[in-house]
Structure 1
């Protein structure tokens, strides 16, 4: 394959979970800019329609699939509908996620359950449902969104760290089981990025000063800086990359 085509996503269809805003939308648009047809997902129909309009204005062929990634029955039905109505899902970006912050000794069971349902269970539910179709075709790309918290912990987010650590190893398990069927399953681990989820931290001057001192790049990341890694893991350029976690963090996990 010519080098210029290694990163092309033309003729591919990508389902991006949690893609009405934030990192999910940035990755959806990034893959669309490289030629992929995008299936936006979330639970807020209005937000999805607004995001769909933004993609269409950019000339990106796209559609909406509104379903709850924590509901396995809904996931199975939605994946079947996408496959039947729009065509094969060639790429899955498992991005949907939430955050809950509290001292571990005070962390509530409902918050634990909600966090695990969205950040871990959903990766399994959607990954399994999509992989069954990919296996029958002997090809497919799955990118699970991990985190620097797959490797490191901070006070107040121990359950989030536990979930993201599990996603890292689930990614490796998926690759171990499914690589023989022609699938590539990898993880993309962002560091600290300016997103709606991190808005309070971005506004916290003390935290931002700490982060800039702690990060070799000395700044927050911008969501657009994740696109190159996502395109690489979604394209033929990564045809022999499996079970790998690609960290994009400005060097924070490389430095004490």
Structure 2
């Protein structure tokens, strides 16, 4: 009898996960490593990356590489991908997770502040994806995953620039899903809702905001960071080979609540 191969195995695949020093990026990188992928994680803080790589390595039994650079620095991103391919020989999975937050009314932004947020959250990931896709096209295989936000679909008060960036990522993903599909590359997105990450700790501990979560999220709670992990593994896997141009919302039902 022919055995069914292990579902969602990433053995032999090479992944790059941005913004993986902590939070959702860390959990997705760990899950990819546990599924068998060879993982490189990126971020701006080299010390934090080393600690995260050690923790992922301990959990998965695999060596995890690091690359410290600012996502808004396009040349640094291209160099990081070139170095990864030199070491690994290929690149199969790009998880564009990193992003900056600056949630203020539009009138409160200077021109340079608005441009900086768009560079970090939209332009930087766009250029990194272009460099990765050049490699993937030569392999006729690739998985591009953008971590957007439910803010790419619904808007909060006084949050226009961040919302614009996330909606832009969603549009970029859909355009690349059309452009790259016949090169063997799928492009998809994960749109997280409210997750209890380190960045959100001040809100998680706020009792008034807890009441808001109870009302707005049908699940009645914050998402746990590890609950994002399986979404990344699925979209990166061969089992998702015909999933292209899709936004996988992971929000406890927040965006469907009246």
TM-score normalised according to structure 1 size = 0.96
Indicate the residue corresponding to 1:15 in structure 2: 16
Structure 1 position 2, deviation (Å): 6.1
User: 1:128 — aligned with what?
Assistant: 130
| Unmatched 5+ stretches in structure 1 | none
Contact 1:69 1:125 in 2 (8 A): no
In the other structure, the counterpart of 2:26 is 25
Show structure 2 runs of 5+ residues with no match: none
Match of 2:41 in 1: 40
Pairs within 5 Å for 1:61-140: 61-140=63-142
The number of equivalent residue pairs is: 256
> What root-mean-square deviation, in Å, do the aligned CA atoms of Structure 1 and Structure 2 show?
1.4
Name whichever of 166-175 and 63-72 sits farther off: 63-72
Counterpart in the other structure of 1:211: 213
Q: In structure 2, how many angstroms separate the alpha carbons of the residues matched to 1:199 and 1:87? A: 39
C-alpha displacement of 1:118: 1.1
Alignment of 1:232-247 (within 5 A): 232-247=234-249
What whole-Å deviation, never above 9, does each CA across 1:123-153 have from its counterpart, x for those lacking one? 1011100000100111010100011101111
Cα distance between partner residues in 2 of 1:78 and 1:31: 19
Query: CA separation in 1, counterparts of 2:3 and 2:69?
Result: 38
- Secondary structure of 1:197's counterpart equals helix
Partner of 2:199: 197
Q: Is the 8 A contact 1:14 1:91 kept in 2?
A: yes
Distance 1:254 1:2, change over 3 A: farther
Maintained 8 Å contact 1:92/1:142? yes
Q: Does the Cα contact within 8 Å between 2:54 and 2:64 map onto a contact in 1? A: no
Query: For the residues of structure 2 that align with 1:85 and 1:154, how far apart are their CA atoms?
Result: 43
**Would you identify which runs of 4 or more consecutive aligned residues in structure 1 move more than 2 Å?**
1-6, 107-111
Deviates more, 1:1-10 or 1:92-101: 1-10
TM-score (norm 2): 0.95
Q: Deviations over 1:173-226 (max 9, x none)?
A: 111110010001100010000112222222222122112211111110011111
Higher deviation after alignment, 241-250 or 148-157: 148-157
